[in-house]
Chains A and B, each alone.
Chain A
């Protein structure tokens, strides 16, 4: 009898503990958040993109609605039709080593970037950017990770101004500590440990063995994660998977052949079969949720027209489409594209990227910004397409995008969401619509009280 009573007491205590863990508290300080990412951070890369927003900051940021927000600059104004921009800097900001983030320090940070199309001058409380050609979208451009602000310490280390400071980098592991003096308030977690260059399989193992609180999951892991009732977060379809023409073969320099390949591809089949309908079919560089006009790009194959264009080109040599050998999904895409090419009389073979003489490659490119004009410029830059003007109106963006795609040097296939699996103990989790992680507001429930999801 006594034993039964004791058992009941234990059960009710556990039940109480479980229910107590549901309660909201204001954010709790402390603990270490461990995240895995496939992103490769090169040892020589002092300001890796993956740490922008966490360790390094930009003058301007873009919020989740695509609106520009103050970063290290509090306000900005352009004159001369966008040829001159004046930025006022936030006062009282220090780099992680304590040196003040002054206009002169930021001017030096830009000088280190080299090859920038502006002349930059430091004033008493800000910076003036001047260029020969108008830059109407400069403020948005400066939100890109490549323009993150850093300084060099006396010891030669690179430091930023963000909510976390680099503690140490041991191989692929980047250890960060909360910046107690962060201008926008110290983050809630004490430490952030990011393991980079981690394969999807290793990430899942780390997650299962409770060695990571946060991991990226691939489209083929997504379904399994749902079956296992993992807590997941999927961004908007924000990663563009596209074919990029890399060959200098004369036949592939002919736009008609590239267009024929584009018209032959059954994108819907790739989306339905390989990606199990995750994300959406793409015929544009930017997704519809960002621009509202992507539906104007035709996603349907037109094999008749493709065959006609291919015939006009005449003799076509065998082509090779490359894929990342470590990525089984890319291989499936390459094989399917080769099959579609075969249907219009083009002999194409899917081969690993390491094979010499590759003509086309499968590329995955993350949406670089939530500002449509900046995102388009970033993608055009990344995919080495023709340069675009930077007028931000929907009409001119559409015209730019159509012009960039008219060369068929890049052939969009699908937009995929960036998916994250996270432990139940993580609170205040937010990610941008394009899937970028935000760590500064995250807080952790102690291990013993984290059984119930928020």
Chain B
């Protein structure tokens, strides 16, 4: 946690220098930087105590176990760290243990007057931290252990050159999230097993209902699905070979059935291959030229038409204006992933394409915004990092829903992603 804030400070001050052409701007930015510095300094000062709060209870518990074993009196006390805890966290933990020992009537002294030698090792295993106290009294050694769950530090935000990608975590769960959309204070979420509805309560999403998806066949691996708000009922869920209708006539209900209805992708609809992880390439409404199989599609409005950008199953990125199709040079898209989505914003051309990064499911991912002013895409934002591979990216109105599988926790995290203009 503390390290992240430190990085943030470094990045912010660095950015100020990089984008300040004139002296007046320097002065203004110096002021902003000073305020930021003070704010971050305050956070840095508060951070250790906040973090130590997570460890106070187990440190107290271990100290009580030690005191229970030694009884009141003098001991020698040493502590070593063989875990991934930071130096400051270790210091806080040691401080807490020593304070609790004193409260329990145990004095920490030198060898000469000690009736026990206590050594604490801050260790860790696959599931979390394990703090081990070895208590030596004469020839006897007693061992006390406390298991402590591991906590996760948040990642530092990124800033970009002309536009900034903003992401807000909507929901996180162990079951694979396929899609989510927010409609005022309500949220719908589609996962591999169910469709859930949420309401916003004191700034936090609360699950109201979860309705199971029934199906008569197995879904493919690399499962994909969309949840789309509907006009005459709540929403439709599109899954490979399955379509579900979410209604709210007498309480919320879900009815699913086998079906290969085309999935809505912006102004177009497209058939999805129910046994695989891509669209067949058959697009409906106003594209005369057939496309090959593709993973995702971004629709970019032009004056009299929509320019479609498609990430093909052939590994190439195609541009289709309804009449002609061309491939963007591989040198431009070499580091692109296969998931893209169009997002509306008040900046630039008004619509950008969010693009995932190259890699596979074992690496972290990022989103970058691109515009296509002429023929080739131009990057207009810095990357926004995600804690794992992005497994779904769908456009919902003016924003985009991105789902990432957090490599550290294994949970799926749904984010609402938008693009903001840099001032």
Contact = CB atoms under 8 A, between A and B. Distances in A.
B361 interface: yes
| Residue of A20, A24, A66, A187 with most partner-chain B CB within 10 A | A24
B130 A19 contact: no
B313 interface: yes
Given A22-B358, A24-B338, A26-B277, A295 B145 contact: no
A428 B361 contact: yes
Given A20-B330, A23-B336, A293-B132, A182 B218 contact: yes
A29 B130 CA distance: 43
B313 A25 contact: yes
A289 B147 contact: no
B191 interface: no
Contact of A22 (B125, B278, B334): B334
B337 A27 contact: no
Contacts of B363: 454
Given A19-B330, A185-B223, A25 B295 contact: yes
Given A16-B331, A23-B333, A26-B277, A295 B123 contact: yes
A395 B316 CA distance: 56
Contacts of A290: 125-126
Contact of A398 (B145, B334, B339): B145
Interface in A250-290: 288-290
A454 B360 contact: yes
Contacts of B129: 292
Contacts of A65: 126-127, 410
Interface in B200-245: 218-223
Given A65-B410, A181-B218, A394-B130, A427 B123 contact: no
A434 to B, nearest CB: 10
B276 A29 contact: yes
A115 B154 CA distance: 50
B161 interface: no
Contacts of B125: 66, 288-292, 372
B382 to A, nearest CB: 19
A170 B359 CA distance: 36
In the complex, which range does the number of interface residues on chain B fall in? 35 or more
B358 A24 contact: yes
Interface in A153-183: 180-183
Nearest to A427: B360
Interface in A178-226: 180-188
B223 A454 contact: no
B261 interface: no
B221 A394 contact: no
A430 interface: yes
B337 to A, nearest CB: 4
A398 B335 CA distance: 49
Interface in B316-341: 316, 329-331, 333-339
A441 interface: yes
Interface string B144-178: 01010000000000000000000000000000000
A23 B221 contact: no
Contacts of A23: 315, 330, 333-338, 358
A291 B315 contact: no
A322 interface: no
Contact of A185 (B222, B336, B338): B222
A66 B334 CA distance: 37
A187 B329 CA distance: 31
A43 interface: no
A67 interface: yes
Interface of B is mostly: loop
Given A293-B132, A296-B143, A394-B145, A24 B359 contact: yes
A296 B134 contact: yes
A129 interface: no
Nearest to A67: B127
Interface residues of A, number: 51
A19 B334 contact: yes
Contacts of A63: 410
B411 to A, nearest CB: 11
A41 to B, nearest CB: 26
Given A67-B127, A185-B222, A292-B125, A395 B315 contact: no
Contact of B221 (A24, A184, A395): A184
Contacts of A291: 125, 130
Interface in A363-418: 370, 372, 394-395, 398
Nearest to A27: B222
Interface in A70-110: 92
A430 B218 contact: no
A433 interface: yes
Contacts of A21: 315
A428 B219 contact: no
Contacts of A118: none
Interface string B177-201: 0000000000000000000000000
Interface string B388-403: 0000000000000000
Contacts of B220: 185-186
A437 interface: no
Nearest to B124: A292
Contacts of B295: 25-26
A427 B360 CA distance: 6
Contacts of A433: 126
28 contacts: A16-B331, A20-B330, A22-B335, A24-B358, A24-B360, A25-B311, A25-B337, A27-B221, A28-B313, A65-B126, A65-B127, A65-B410, A66-B127, A184-B218, A185-B218, A185-B221, A289-B125, A291-B130, A292-B129, A292-B132, A295-B82, A296-B143, A394-B130, A394-B145, A394-B147, A428-B361, A428-B362, A441-B361
Given A26-B277, A291-B125, 11 more contacts: A19-B330, A23-B335, A24-B357, A181-B218, A186-B220, A292-B125, A292-B129, A296-B143, A427-B361, A429-B362, A433-B126
Interface of B: 82, 121, 123-127, 129-130, 132, 134, 143, 145, 147, 218-223, 275-278, 295, 311, 313, 315-316, 329-331, 333-339, 356-363, 410
Going nearest first, the 7 A-B pairs with the smallest beta carbon separation are: A292-B130, A185-B221, A292-B125, A20-B330, A19-B334, A24-B337, A292-B123
Interface of A: 15-17, 19-29, 63-67, 92, 180-188, 288-293, 295-296, 370, 372, 394-395, 398, 427-430, 433, 440-441, 449, 454
